[in-house]
Amino acid sequence: MAEHESLEFGKADFVLLDNVSLEEFMANLKLRFEKGRIYTYIGEVVVSVNPYRAMNIYGRDTIEQYKGRELYEQPPHLFAIADAAYKAMKRRNKDTCIVISGESGAGKTEASKYIMQYIAAITNPSQRAEVERVKNMLLKSNCVLEAFGNAKTNRNDNSSRFGKYMDINFDFKGDPIGGHINNYLLEKDPVGKVKGVFKCIFQLVKGAPDAQLRSLHIQRDPTAYTYIKVGGQIKSSINDSADFKAVTDAMKVIGFTTEEIQTVYKILATILHLGNLKFGSDGDVTLIENSKLVSILGDLLSTKDENVEKALLYRTVATGRDVIDKQHTHQEASYGRDALAKAIYERLFCWIVGRINDIIEVKNYDVRVHGKNTVIGVLDIYGFEIFQNNSFEQFCINYCNEKLQQLFIQLVLKQEQEEYQREGIPWKHIDYFNNQIIVDLVEQQHKGIFAVLDEACMNVGKVTDEMLLQALNGKLAKHAHYTSRKLSPTDKNLEFDRDFRIRHYAGDVAYSVVGFIDKNKDTLFQDFKRLLYNSSNPVLKAMWPEGKLSITEVTKRPLTAATLFKNSMISLVENLASKEPYYVRCIKPNEVKSPLLFEHERCKHQVEYLGLLENVRVRRAGFANRQIYPRFLQRYKMISEFTWPNHDLPSDKEAVKRLLQGCGFEHDVAYGKTKVFIRTPRTIFSLEEQRAEMVKRIVLFLQKVWRGTLARMHYRRMRAALIIIRAYRRYKVKSYIREVNQRFKNVRGMKDHGKHVKWPTPPKVLRKFEEALRNIYNRWWAWTLIKDLSPEQLVQIRAKVATLECLKGQRADLGLQRAWEGNYLVSKKDSPGTASSFTLISSDLQRKDKFMRVLFSCNVRKINRFNKAEDRALLITDRHLYKMDPVKQYKPMKSIPLYNVTGVSISPGKDQLVVFHTKDNRDLIVCLQGMVPAGDSRIGELVGTLLSHFKSEKRKLQVNIVSPIHCSMNGRKCTVVVETKINQSQPDFTKSRSGYILSVPGN
């Protein structure tokens, strides 16, 4: 059965109804329609109710749900039938067919589209390009055939006036490789008497571009054409323009050339102009009143105007060896004009179908090379019709439905019987309406209605429709399913000499014989055939091959429309009978196309004539449900302890027996060879209820097991990840250490002790370790460099390090690249003439003040207490800072104890300004000068030496790098500003309002 749907949606399969009655059937159908469930099963038949709205049940997700599943595993759907047909074709190598039936507007054409869409979607993706091509062709052909074979009527925007049987060919892999279309065009008149107009006519008049209409001499106004007015006042679609473009594009995609498409629209224009032709009389001579149309027709048909006029007004007759032109009467000319319009349209439609078949048919397929190809057929044919006035077309349509219903009943019964015989189950005989008697009434040789009609058409002389009815009354007076007013004089619903009634399987239908003979003859004068054959348009010429016959050649009488239709129906039924059939029964819920309205009587009538209740009874007569043993076990094995989770019995059949015995259903089932047959729906429902209860428990158990499994999987993944992470970290650490060892193992023998060696990139976990390792290396490298230095060199190194730490990045030139001499006044470079004098004075000071060593000495420019600038010499020892007069043989002027110095301030520029800050706020402002070479900077050396010395004595020296420098002179606050002057030759101080200005050379 179908997936267990909630009871709020009714029964998903009519076979599962509690009581098989029309009332319960209709109630279930209505409930499902109102709940949005438009599909319901009858076993393996789909009943489809037209929803009259777009439904989101045909997308890719839905296709995946039905792909490869059994019918009863998912809710009812067209896709389930399509998949069943495809599986039967692919797995069992069987030709299959899907028969779609129902009345006009029930949704048959849409159903055929969705079935083709599904088949195209599930085929092999590796062959997608070819599959898409064939699918595109088949779907596009639908668009074209609808336009030329369907009519706009007051009942239906898309009323099928033709039947279509499409074969889709598949190769041995199950991929579509082509197709073939058989058409059964019934309504040849482009404005048939069903009060409708073929869609292509409206699309041309209302949708074609203005330029194209001008070339065809067509007006935009549909009411300007007699044939459209005869067809009825049909509302034009607002999408006529889009529809016209869609049909034209579809023809291009299929492979129609531009010339062929243009010819198609020329033929439609020709039909419209033919309808507007008016004939008049001048005495005994018949004339064309609007002769301008003749030249238009000649242009459209690519033939001479005089030939068109002659064919319309004259008929060429051969009498022995003589050939004469016989002029038409007014009535004959009008009949010939209408017959030509119908014949042209019929030939056009057949040519379009033939052209499509030429393109989509399987080509170059060799069975020996490619394997057997199989077929899925899709039949979309007109449904049973009952109008207020039913004519020849409705008679043929209803005969067609009688044939298909007979086939349906036969095949369903046959399938049931064959399945029971295969499975060894006794078959119970079912009574059903056998409509073979009605089929014989229509098609039986010599006695059937078609035979009487053909005989009337072949009689020499004038035979009227009334005479045809008399002949029918004579031949069929005793037939139980035929009657007329003459045979039933009290039946006032029938008109004398006009109507007869047939009791169809779908109900009684009264037919009017008016027009039966003309429509059956459907003769076209040979002159028209020759006219069109002689056209210079090759497409038109190809449509009329019999036009090449000479007028004197004797030809067989063409078959009548009834005989042609009967033969095609017999052929169709034989074709369908040779295939494994699947059925879609379409129902039209209301006449107003409402998605909400369910007209009970209308639907009931369709259910009756479609034989759906009989179908349910046939299915229920034996067993309501049957399933193969493995599938049954798979669905219900959790009910029994003997079958859950797996059985150990000899076979699946034995396991199913044990399961059903345990449930107490052994008296309601039968066991076939491969299937279990269940008689009543109650058993199915009970099994489903027990299954639903067990599924809850199983789900809880599975959830518990699965959650535990997930937790264990998660733990194992985490543990494995941790092990991997640890191993990887160890590997990275070892790799890094090995790499460092490899790169630095010979650094002792290198000239630069490994300074040029590039460090490898450490793993994240070793970044701090690498930093420490670099520090260790750097300390080792530094120690290696300084271990052999003399004490004097070490002092200088420490001073340079102190300078670097204090001034790096704050002054440009620190003098680190040169040797620091410290005591520059001893050097002959700075004071070549007075060096000896300075040496004597410094020796005296050393004896006097007991200092250990000279830290720094240099010539300077200073500010005295009278704010005057003067040259002095600066001597800094480890105990004092001395100011000396170089003019007076370096006579000491004043000394400042070094412990009294608290800080030093320098500017960030290149100048040599230094301010010594003291505890008693008597700061010393000097500018170093007399450097050799002149560009040297000794600020860095002075600061570094002082810092190193103070550090060795564990004292702190404050060093400021600022501009301007704030200081105190004799207890008064002042600032020292450095300015650059272009014409300045030597640095010098000048007094300013706030303090002093040191002017330095600009270049």
Residues catalogued as catalytic: 104-105, 109, 156, 159-160, 383, 385
Q: Are 316 and 307 in contact (CB under 8 A)?
A: no
Residue found by looking up tokens 């210079």 in the block:
536
Residue found by looking up tokens 């060593």 in the block:
853
Q: Rounded to whole angstroms, how far apart are CA atoms 904 and 940?
A: 12
Beta strand extents in 147-275 (DSSP E only): 150-153, 159-160, 162-170, 176-185, 196-198
Q: Rounded to whole angstroms, how far apart are CA atoms 179 and 181?
A: 7
Q: Identify the CA nearest to 40 among candidates 52, 31, 48.
A: 48
Alpha carbon 679 to chain centroid, angstroms: 45
Q: Rounded to whole angstroms, how far apart are CA atoms 925 and 970?
A: 12
Annotated binding site: 102-109
Q: Rounded to whole angstroms, how far apart are CA atoms 958 and 904?
A: 6
Q: Identify the CA nearest to 109 among candidates 57, 41, 161, 55.
A: 161
AA identity, residue 616:
V
Q: Identify the CA nearest to 510 among candidates 490, 533, 492.
A: 492
AA identity, residue 848:
K
| Angle at the Cα of 487 from the Cα atoms of 484 and 489, rounded to 5 degrees | 90
Peptide bond into 125 cis (omega under 30): no
- Cβ burial of 649 (10 Å; 0-12, 13-18, 19+) is middle
Q: Rounded to whole angstroms, how far apart are CA atoms 580 and 582?
A: 7
Q: Rounded to whole angstroms, how far apart are CA atoms 632 and 699?
A: 19
Token output for 967: 């200081």
Annotated binding site for ATP: 102-109
Which strands, in side-by-side order, build the sheet including 988-991?
965-969, 972-981, 995-1001, 988-991
Token output for 234: 């049909």
Q: Rounded to whole angstroms, how far apart are CA atoms 725 and 768?
A: 19
What element of type H or E holds 565?
Answer: helix 561-577
Q: Rounded to whole angstroms, how far apart are CA atoms 370 and 172?
A: 7
Between the alpha carbon of residue 19 and those of residues 106, 608, 687, the distances in Å are 27, 17, 19
SS3 state of residue 418: helix
Token output for 124: 């092999």
166 φ/ψ sector (left φ>0, alpha ψ -120 to 50, else beta): beta
Token output for 817: 């690249």
The Cβ of residue 36 has, within 10 Å, a number of other Cβ atoms equal to 12
Between the alpha carbon of residue 691 and those of residues 66, 626, 685, 695, the distances in Å are 22, 17, 10, 6
Q: Identify the CA nearest to 938 among candidates 951, 950, 929.
A: 929
